A and B are shown apart, each in its own frame.
Chain A
């Protein structure tokens, strides 16, 4: 993007609400840059509601987004303070995040070809970050944004450098990411174990494997599982799988595979037991989810994996693969504009909400 975006709040016009951040610290709006009429995503952080650690993380995120430059990483075009808010301007990714796509249109997971296209983009982004000595530490469907020209990785708030302190000659990291609770299901066993062995970039590859399952199954592995059970399962080497007819067998009460389509089997389960993913896809997923980080391939190695051969053969354009999802674009902006007034009013109300102010006398 060669257009220069100004950091004057007056030059941006709010259009509608796009979504809420997973951790509730930010709201994303669709906005318009009035200078050239370009649609952008405006992420608003209400600094009044944010803790000190999170403020630092947001600051680091914005700095990192401006420092890194790769076509598959979400950039920050401009950032400024407006009232109580810090606003970060990013290019609009019309289809939203992969998590949104799953929730709205693909409840049992995205089609394999689409996953191959998205994954290739994300691997490029990870490869770039790793080359720069960074670990992303929060690869998950909700941090993968899809636009009409491909996927971009966001969520750099949790990223860290491989060499944090100068004493660390071995390329290992030991720090447990702060405020990482929403990402726990995606994190690698070695990161979660927090021992002296530490972890490195390969941790991102494991998260990518979990994201693979999330994209293919429509639900993240270990969803609804107590976190401590998730930890023990990962440490014991339990690797989640892509659910299809080779992995998803429905057992009846006697422990025998049950072929009958009885009432217990809902549509989602039937879908799983009928479809079939390709062998390379299963293989890629298994490689990513190797318990031993040394056995996991690097993103560069994964890019040469047989799974991505289908991308070359594919002639279908991305928008067709994404149907029934349609992107937010110039044509469909006005129809979603009506809800904005109420949101803004609510926003103003919360700004006036004086009762919730807590004075902290301990500090």
Chain B
């Protein structure tokens, strides 16, 4: 499948050649200028090109290392940062690297400060449901900063968007919400107000563990502060509580996170937002009035929880402790058959390492890939048609190896009885001779 991805990645400038170039040459260029000559046979301009005559060159995946990390494909792009997949070349652990450019950071308000604060906060945190910052690297020359983080397969927002009614089955939403509570409780215990809880900031690891991410606008309360009073907020408008929408000068930080978690839960379970508006003024007006309508087809206990979390007055809004004791939270809903999976990335449902093609390139795949370097449009079409069929030819996606031809060994091994054994590859022989018994 990596092969296919490479082809899909083909850019127009990779289009190498179109046959019939001679016939193009035969056409006099002057014809194009002579536009009053109407009865020119159109066939003279437009040559039919067979699909196997359009040849693409597969985009080369050039292996790039930053520190000890081998870089892979782009996972996402934000306003001021790119996120790429990476592989720790020592531990072989998958990672995600957030790449910040100083130049871009300067352009956004508080950009540099937010980035610095996020790093400082993440460094001191350690919890199962909070994204872990593994490493930070700075390239002074390129004016870039690399934040190496735990690898996540996707976010709740992408999952919601992949479903027709933009919501999760109750049991799944319940699971994520409980993990959100765990992470949030930890953050609050460390004196940190996240201020930007929303589905797109809740990521999932391979095993489905929820990670609260993006602490870019979070605030660490002063160690000696009397309470959780905050003065600024830069979170997403749709998730802001009435006290911020109404422009209060100061507000309780923790209750802001409760509100936005409430909006998140509302969104996860109904597929809608409790407050909407065409623009930010209308939206804030709607939030400020706080006329909440909760769909009556929801579980009554869930309705009660949502009403408690989306309480206009922060003083009477539920606290984290009360939410934990709420009947809807305590009672785990029964698992139903419906389940929203993490949507495939670039057609790959298994979310396999995107670093592998780069590594194959680095370790000289010439003998294996030679035949696939150029690919015609027809092959591409056929391959796409083939991939649409439900038949899975390689049943484990281990088929990152480019073609089955190079797997002579595996194919031979599959035969029940075989007389010929593949000689050890020169690689292992070399390794062995260099290996001295001690």
* Contact in complex: B421, A292 (CB < 8 Å): no
A-B interface contact total, Cβ < 8 Å: 155
Contact of B409 among A168, A217, A237, A292 (CB under 8 A): A237
- Of all chain A residues, the one with the shortest Cβ separation from B396 is A292
Q: Which residues of B contact A272 (CB under 8 A)?
A: 432
Which stretch of A81-89, A171-179, A327-335 is in the interface? Answer: A171-179
Q: Does B424 contact A (CB under 8 A)?
A: yes
* Contact in complex: A228, B435 (CB < 8 Å): no
- Among B87, B91, B351, find the residue whose CB has the most chain A CB atoms closer than 10 A: B91
* Contact in complex: A194, B353 (CB < 8 Å): yes
Complex: A176 Cα to B426 Cα, angstroms: 31
Complex: A261 Cα to B335 Cα, angstroms: 68
* Contact in complex: A232, B356 (CB < 8 Å): yes
* Contact in complex: A190, B396 (CB < 8 Å): yes
Q: Does A14 contact B (CB under 8 A)?
A: no
Contact of B92 among A103, A190, A219, A227 (CB under 8 A): A227
Evaluate whether A164 and B207 lie within 8 angstroms (CB atoms) in the complex, with A231-B92, A235-B401, A362-B124 already known.
yes
Q: Does A4 contact B (CB under 8 A)?
A: no
Q: Which residues of B contact A31 (CB under 8 A)?
A: none
Evaluate whether A239 and B413 lie within 8 angstroms (CB atoms) in the complex, with A167-B175, A198-B206, A363-B124 already known.
yes
Q: Which residues of A contact B90 (CB under 8 A)?
A: 181, 227
Q: Which residues of B contact A293 (CB under 8 A)?
A: 396
* Contact in complex: B437, A218 (CB < 8 Å): yes
Evaluate whether A362 and B350 lie within 8 angstroms (CB atoms) in the complex, with A174-B206, A195-B206, A221-B428 already known.
no
* Contact in complex: B206, A194 (CB < 8 Å): yes
Complex: A362 Cα to B433 Cα, angstroms: 47
Query: Chain A, 207-233, contact with B by CB distance < 8 Å: what is the 0/1 string?
Result: 000000000011101111111110111
Q: Which residues of A contact B368 (CB under 8 A)?
A: 236
Q: Does A2 contact B (CB under 8 A)?
A: no
Q: Does B94 contact A (CB under 8 A)?
A: yes
Complex: A235 Cα to B2 Cα, angstroms: 12
Q: Does A192 contact B (CB under 8 A)?
A: yes
Q: Does A147 contact B (CB under 8 A)?
A: no
Q: Which residues of B contact A197 (CB under 8 A)?
A: 350, 396-397
Q: Does B360 contact A (CB under 8 A)?
A: yes
Q: Does B123 contact A (CB under 8 A)?
A: yes
- Among A193, A225, A228, find the residue whose CB has the most chain B CB atoms closer than 10 A: A228
Q: Which residues of B contact A337 (CB under 8 A)?
A: none
Query: Chain B, 415-434, contact with A by CB distance < 8 Å: what is the 0/1 string?
Result: 00000011111111101111
* Contact in complex: B424, A247 (CB < 8 Å): yes
Q: Which residues of B contact A229 (CB under 8 A)?
A: 359, 363
* Contact in complex: A235, B93 (CB < 8 Å): no
Q: How far is the CB of A20 from chain B (nearest CB, A)?
A: 14
* Contact in complex: A247, B363 (CB < 8 Å): no
Q: Which residues of A contact B407 (CB under 8 A)?
A: 236-237
Q: How far is the CB of A166 from chain B (nearest CB, A)?
A: 9
Q: Does B276 contact A (CB under 8 A)?
A: no
Q: Does A356 contact B (CB under 8 A)?
A: no
Interface residues on B, range: 35 or more
Complex: A282 Cα to B412 Cα, angstroms: 13
Q: How far is the CB of A227 from chain B (nearest CB, A)?
A: 6
Q: Does B254 contact A (CB under 8 A)?
A: no
Complex: A169 Cα to B335 Cα, angstroms: 11
The majority secondary structure among interface residues of chain A is loop
Contact of B433 among A192, A193, A194, A266 (CB under 8 A): A266
* Contact in complex: B342, A196 (CB < 8 Å): yes
Complex: A293 Cα to B400 Cα, angstroms: 15
* Contact in complex: B427, A168 (CB < 8 Å): no
Q: Does B347 contact A (CB under 8 A)?
A: no
Q: Does B42 contact A (CB under 8 A)?
A: no
Complex: A236 Cα to B403 Cα, angstroms: 10
Q: How far is the CB of A138 from chain B (nearest CB, A)?
A: 14
Q: Does B277 contact A (CB under 8 A)?
A: no
Q: Which residues of A contact B396 (CB under 8 A)?
A: 190, 197, 291-294
Evaluate whether A268 and B437 lie within 8 angstroms (CB atoms) in the complex, with A224-B431, A237-B410, A292-B395 already known.
yes
Complex: A291 Cα to B29 Cα, angstroms: 58
- Of all chain B residues, the one with the shortest Cβ separation from A287 is B413
Q: Which residues of A contact B124 (CB under 8 A)?
A: 362-363
Q: Which residues of A contact B153 (CB under 8 A)?
A: 196
Evaluate whether A193 and B421 lie within 8 angstroms (CB atoms) in the complex, with A224-B434, A251-B426, A290-B413 already known.
no
Q: Does B208 contact A (CB under 8 A)?
A: yes
* Contact in complex: B433, A269 (CB < 8 Å): yes
* Contact in complex: B352, A193 (CB < 8 Å): yes
Complex: A182 Cα to B299 Cα, angstroms: 51
Q: Which residues of A contact B93 (CB under 8 A)?
A: 176, 194
Contact of A291 among B70, B207, B410, B433 (CB under 8 A): B410
* Contact in complex: B92, A232 (CB < 8 Å): no
Q: Does A299 contact B (CB under 8 A)?
A: no
Q: How far is the CB of B358 from chain A (nearest CB, A)?
A: 10
Complex: A184 Cα to B88 Cα, angstroms: 12
Q: Does B259 contact A (CB under 8 A)?
A: no
Q: Which residues of A contact B435 (CB under 8 A)?
A: 219, 223-224
Q: Which residues of B contact A165 (CB under 8 A)?
A: 207-209
Q: Does B200 contact A (CB under 8 A)?
A: no
* Contact in complex: B409, A239 (CB < 8 Å): yes
* Contact in complex: B432, A236 (CB < 8 Å): no
Q: How far is the CB of B210 from chain A (nearest CB, A)?
A: 11
Q: Does A150 contact B (CB under 8 A)?
A: no
Contact of A235 among B208, B356, B395, B432 (CB under 8 A): B356
- Of all chain B residues, the one with the shortest Cβ separation from A236 is B401
Q: Does A286 contact B (CB under 8 A)?
A: yes
Q: Does A246 contact B (CB under 8 A)?
A: yes
Contact of A228 among B87, B406, B426, B438 (CB under 8 A): B87
* Contact in complex: B438, A103 (CB < 8 Å): yes
B residues within 8 Å of A by Cβ?
70, 87, 89-94, 123-124, 151, 153, 175, 205-209, 335, 342, 349-353, 356, 359-360, 362-363, 368, 395-398, 400-401, 406-407, 409-410, 413-414, 421-429, 431-435, 437-438
A-B pairs, top 4 by smallest CB distance, nearest first, are A107-B437, A174-B207, A174-B206, A195-B352
Given contacts A167-B175, A250-B429, 13 further A-B contacts (CB under 8 A): A165-B209, A181-B90, A184-B91, A184-B92, A193-B398, A194-B94, A194-B151, A195-B206, A233-B427, A239-B410, A272-B432, A294-B395, A363-B124
| 25 A/B residue pairs, CB under 8 Å, sorted by A | A164-B207, A174-B205, A175-B207, A181-B90, A184-B92, A194-B94, A195-B350, A195-B351, A195-B397, A198-B207, A222-B431, A223-B431, A228-B70, A228-B92, A235-B401, A236-B406, A237-B398, A237-B410, A239-B410, A240-B428, A246-B421, A247-B423, A250-B429, A269-B433, A282-B421
